């Protein structure tokens, strides 16, 4: 079993073609649903009592919700706006609400999870939570500018407590205060991460392990409408794939990165979560085949 911990949100997403208000989002939501295509996935998260029943039902279709807490108050709310090119996002608001003082616990049934993903979330909460698992074989975390700018040391501590970091290029630079991605990765490895995966949006990713680098292309798309959650879908697919194979060999991790790129590509083709919600296993298999064809030479 895989456990995913992180934000479950009501998002306001402003794209050039459409504005989505208070739609279901959150890093753990995207990551968990993406992972659920590969393995049984348990969610640990908190929402407020304003969280719509229809979203609760939707989550229940994909995820084990024994770790979902409903607290009095408002659900975490994120408001972000994309520019015309869809490659730059400006954060307009991050309202932590019930996430602010959340004291997460791991349900007994999740404690034996061998794979744990700490999605984008308060790094102090993430670091505390990972210690509650009994049998972790592979753990991974992500972070975002918001946490790097207010809790950089806590982010570094979180990195010390996991096997792998998956982070986007801009955030890797901001966190490590380096400009070159190899230098960024080396710094994160010095902090204690065995694997570092740097996401480069539409351009794919770079994975680092010891002195090895595994570059992987993004799946090229002509029509992108909403990049929200691409990174989370990438990470969810990665760890979901590894959990499904119960493997952490370098070769499995390379394949996992490819699945990450492919699930990320589905996420950006539709608004909000729709890219994942409309997905069938057959679509994943087909796109993996296309991807293989694309990169073979
Ligand atoms: P991504 O596009 O992969 O960076 O992920 C976007 C998701 O992250 C959105 O659905 C947001 O709800 C969530 N998110 C944005 N900011 C934060 C934050 N500071 N902490 C946790 N989750 C966040």
Question: Ligand 1 atom closest to Cα of 146?
Answer: 19
Q: How far is the CA of 27 from the centre of ligand 1 (A)?
A: 5
Sequential pLDDT tens for the chain (297 residues) = 999 999 999 999 999 999 999 999 999 999 999 999 999 999 999 999 999 999 999 999 999 999 999 999 999 999 999 999 998 999 999 999 999 999 999 999 999 999 999 999 999 999 999 999 999 999 999 999 999 999 999 999 999 999 999 999 999 999 999 999 999 999 999 999 999 999 999 999 999 999 999 999 999 999 999 999 999 999 999 999 999 999 999 999 999 999 999 999 999 999 999 999 999 999 999 999 999 999 999
Domain boundaries, the chain: 2-295
Question: Ligand 1 atom closest to Cα of 230?
Answer: 3
CATH fit for domain 2-295, picks 3.90.870.10, 3.40.1190.20, 3.50.50.60, 3.40.50.720? 3.40.1190.20
In the chain, where do the E strands start and end?
2-5, 9-14, 19-25, 41-48, 64-71, 77-82, 89-95, 115-118, 138-141, 164-168, 195-199, 205-209, 212-216
**What residue owns the CA closest to ligand 1's atom 13?**
26
Question: Ligand 1 atom closest to Cα of 232?
Answer: 3
Cβ–Cβ under 8 Å, residues 63 and 33:
yes
- CB of 7 shorter than 6 A to ligand 1: yes
Q: How far is the CA of 269 from the centre of ligand 1 (A)?
A: 18
Per-residue pLDDT tens for 223-252? 999 999 999 999 999 999 999 999 999 999
Measured torsion, CA atoms of residues 223, 267, 227, 181, in degrees rounded to the nearest 10:
-110
Mutate to test the pocket of ligand 1, among 26, 86, 147 (most ligand atoms within 8 A of CB): 26
Give the CA angle between residues 63, 64, 66 to the nearest 5°: 140
Per-residue pLDDT tens for 85-125? 998 999 999 999 999 999 999 999 999 999 999 999 999 99
**What residue owns the CA closest to ligand 1's atom 1?**
229
pLDDT given for residue 139 in this prediction: 98
Per-residue pLDDT tens for 211-222? 999 999 999 999
Contacts of 271 (CB under 8 A, 6+ apart): 13, 15, 18, 20, 23, 225, 226
**What residue owns the CA closest to ligand 1's atom 5?**
229
- CB of 262 shorter than 6 A to ligand 1: no
pLDDT given for residue 87 in this prediction: 85
Give the CA angle between residues 29, 32, 37 to the nearest 5°: 130
pLDDT given for residue 78 in this prediction: 97
Helix (H) / strand (E) containing 235: helix 230-245
**What is the overall mean pLDDT for the chain?**
97
Using CA atoms, how far apart are residues 284 and 11, in angstroms rounded to an integer?
26
**DSSP-assigned letters across all residues of 200-216:** -GGG-EEEEETTEEEEE
Mutate to test the pocket of ligand 1, among 120, 175, 260 (most ligand atoms within 8 A of CB): 120
Beta strands at 2-5 and 41-48: parallel, antiparallel or unpaired: parallel
């Amino acid at each position: 079993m895989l456990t995913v911990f992180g934000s479950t949100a009501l998002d306001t997403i402003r794209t050039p073609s459409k504005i989505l208000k208070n739609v279901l989002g959150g890093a753990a939501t995207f990551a968990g649903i993406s992972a659920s295509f590969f393995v049984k996935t348990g969610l640990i998260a908190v929402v407020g009592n304003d969280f719509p029943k229809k979203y609760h039902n939707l989550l229940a279709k994909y995820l084990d919700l024994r770790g979902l807490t409903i607290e009095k108050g408002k659900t975490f709310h994120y408001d972000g706006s994309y520019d015309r090119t869809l490659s730059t996002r400006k954060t307009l608001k991050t309202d932590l609400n019930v996430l602010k003082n959340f004291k997460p616990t791991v349900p007994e049934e999740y404690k034996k999870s061998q794979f744990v993903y700490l999605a984008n979330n308060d790094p102090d909460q993430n670091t505390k939570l990972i210690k509650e698992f009994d049998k972790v074989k592979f753990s991974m975390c992500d972070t975002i500018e918001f946490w790097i700018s207010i809790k950089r040391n806590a982010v570094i501590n979180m990195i010390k407590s996991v096997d792998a970091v998956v982070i986007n290029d801009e955030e890797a630079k901001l966190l490590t205060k380096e400009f070159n991605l190899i230098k960024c990765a080396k710094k994160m490895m010095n902090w204690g991460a065995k694997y570092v995966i740097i996401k480069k949006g539409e351009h794919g990713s770079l994975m680092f392990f010891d002195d090895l680098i595994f570059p992987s292309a993004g799946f090229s798309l002509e029509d992108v409408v909403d990049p929200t959650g691409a990174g989370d879908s990438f990470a969810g697919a990665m760890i979901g794939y590894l959990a499904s194979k119960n493997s952490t060999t370098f070769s499995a991790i390379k394949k996992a990165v490819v699945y990450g790129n492919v699930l990320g590509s589905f996420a950006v083709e539709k608004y909000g979560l729709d890219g994942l919600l409309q997905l069938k296993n057959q679509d994943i298999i087909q796109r993996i085949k296309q991807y293989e064809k694309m990169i073979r030479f």
